[in-house]
Amino acid sequence: MKFRPLALGLLLFLALAACEGQDRAVKPDQITPGVSDSEILLGSSLALEGHAGYLGTQTLRGALSYINHVNEEEGGVFGRKIRVKAYDDAYDPPRCLANTQRLIVEDKVFALFSYVGTPTTVKILPMVEEAGIPLLGMFTGAKALREPFNRHIINVRTSYYQETATAVRHLVSDLGIKKIAVFYQYDAYGFDGLTGAELALKGFGLEPVARGSYVRGTAEVEEGYARIEKSGAEAVVMIGTADPCARFIRLAEEGAFAPIFYTVSFVGAEELARRLGPTDKSIVIMSQVVPPPDRPGGASEYMTHLKRSFPDDTPNYVGLEGYINARVLVEGLRRAGREITRERFIEAIESMHAFKPGPDIDISFSATDHQGMDRVYLTRLENERFTLIGDWQGVRQAFERSKERLAGGKTP
């Protein structure tokens, strides 16, 4: 069979075009895991059941509230819908490790997102480094996620060291308390909070008057409680989860021990309030890393989007943090552009300076700083809700009255 020069040229042109089309087809989508023409796939391992199930569920629902809005109202990012594949790890480090391996190797996700907890998240850091995969928006303030600096790790929230430093400063300077004990979960999370509290106290020339702990996944706090009660502490820094912290406070109320109780944000404000129920005996303070979730301003869009996606949920601090994580995620995807890669995504995050997902929320990153927020909000449990402390004098007066009651004096 003979080919005319024109026909032969046409065949050569079509062959070259086909090869060029194949090259173009593998350029950015197929070489970037988790990215297709229609979807960006993210992976999450977090507690959806068990004693930390509230934290994981609300973190994920808060994030999905915004992601659902972006998918449904805006068509995703550059025409790609965002999908989160989430596995339950029940706050168990080995399960989190197995889930993460599955997400990276089998599911081939673009990035890891919305992890919950220090002992679980710290466990996967070598895998994150080896895979070169972004890890963004963790519900933990652990130092190990901040130092040494790892450009694949993107923290949005304030650290535990900042939370405990702020609380200790108010306990010592505003309330005149010097005898402070630490109750902590015996694992990486608790050790991190304990160290933060010790460093904060050291700044005032103090150290804990007692230390008590419990085993993760239990509410067996009696031994730690006895040790701290014996010390006569006037305040107790609590680094734990809601159930054991509530158990500790209840034991104090049943006895003759009435310190001020301070907890870090990981305890979960709404969950601790629910477990304690109505109480006017204890002064319970909690640091938060986001503003109140039920007030106008930075939380207004969160409340609107939460109601659309999860109408039976009540706005809460944990969910708002998850929502803010999703705002940072989506902003990073937008800035990375249509031809997205993991490296471009990280560079896009680093370009965010004074990003304001709400009028009272300010988030900034850089090439050397991957923690977006630094503010701490201190709240007090009143009428079964944690509300912002506006007057430390009122807290001091309440503490004085509680001491008078213990001493047998009359309450004014």
Q: Where are the domains of the chain?
A: 39-157+294-363, 161-288+377-406
pLDDT at 281: 82
Coil, helix or strand at residue 369:
coil
User: Binning pLDDT at 50, 70 and 90, where does residue 269 land?
Assistant: very high
Exposed / middle / buried, residue 262 (Cβ in 10 Å: 0-12, 13-18, 19+): buried
User: Binning pLDDT at 50, 70 and 90, where does residue 300 land?
Assistant: confident
**What SS3 string covers 195-223?**
HHHHHHHHCCCCCCCCEEEECCCCCCCHH
User: Binning pLDDT at 50, 70 and 90, where does residue 195 land?
Assistant: very high
- CA-nearest of 274, 281, 324, 332 to 299 is 324
Class of the CATH-defined domain 161-288+377-406? alpha beta
Q: Distance between CA 246 and CA 248 in Å, rounded?
A: 5
User: Binning pLDDT at 50, 70 and 90, where does residue 404 land?
Assistant: confident
Residue 390 scores a pLDDT above 80: yes
- CA-nearest of 137, 114, 106, 111 to 42 is 111
Residue 359 scores a pLDDT above 80: no
DSSP code per residue over 240-272: S-HHHHHHHHHHHHHTT---EEEE-GGG-HHHH
**Quick one: tokens of 373?**
């927020």
Average the pLDDT over 155-182 and give the result. Answer: 97
Residue 138 scores a pLDDT above 50: yes
The yes-or-no answer to whether 39-157+294-363 and 161-288+377-406 have a common fold is: yes
pLDDT at 31: 76
Residue 298 scores a pLDDT above 90: no
- CA-nearest of 352, 374, 363, 349 to 135 is 349
Residue found under tokens 């929502």: 323
Residues in a beta bridge with 211: 182
Residues in a beta bridge with 85: 43
State pTM to two decimals: 0.89
Exposed / middle / buried, residue 224 (Cβ in 10 Å: 0-12, 13-18, 19+): buried
Could you tell me what percent of the chain has a pLDDT over 90?
A: 83
pLDDT at 29: 43
**Beta strand pairing status for 211-214 and 235-239?**
unpaired
Residue 358 scores a pLDDT above 90: no
- CA-nearest of 296, 228, 291, 235 to 262 is 235
According to DSSP, residue 127 is labeled: H
Q: Distance between CA 362 and CA 360 in Å, rounded?
A: 7
Average the pLDDT over 36-60 and give the result. Answer: 96
pLDDT at 401: 86
Residue 325 scores a pLDDT above 80: yes
Residue found under tokens 């009122």: 394
Q: Distance between CA 73 and CA 301 in Å, rounded?
A: 14
Domain 39-157+294-363 = CATH 3.40.50.2300: yes
Average the pLDDT over 251-265 and give the result. Answer: 94
Could you tell me what percent of the chain has a pLDDT over 70?
A: 91
Residue found under tokens 């040229």: 9
Average the pLDDT over 325-353 and give the result. Answer: 98
* Amino acid type, 146: R
Q: Write the pLDDT tens digit of every residue in 11-24.
A: 444 444 444 444 44
Average the pLDDT over 242-247 and give the result. Answer: 97
User: Binning pLDDT at 50, 70 and 90, where does residue 369 land?
Assistant: very high
Neighbours of 293 (CB within 10 A): 23
113-127 per-residue burial string, b: 16 or more CB within 10 A, e: under 16: bbbbbbbbbbbbeeb
Which secondary structure element, helix H or strand E, spans residue 139, and what is its range? none
Q: How far is CA 349 from CA 55, 159, 210, 223, 360, in A?
A: 25, 19, 42, 45, 20
How far, rounded to the nearest angstrom, does the alpha carbon of residue 185 sit from its chain's CA centroid? 17
Residue 329 scores a pLDDT above 50: yes
* Amino acid type, 50: G
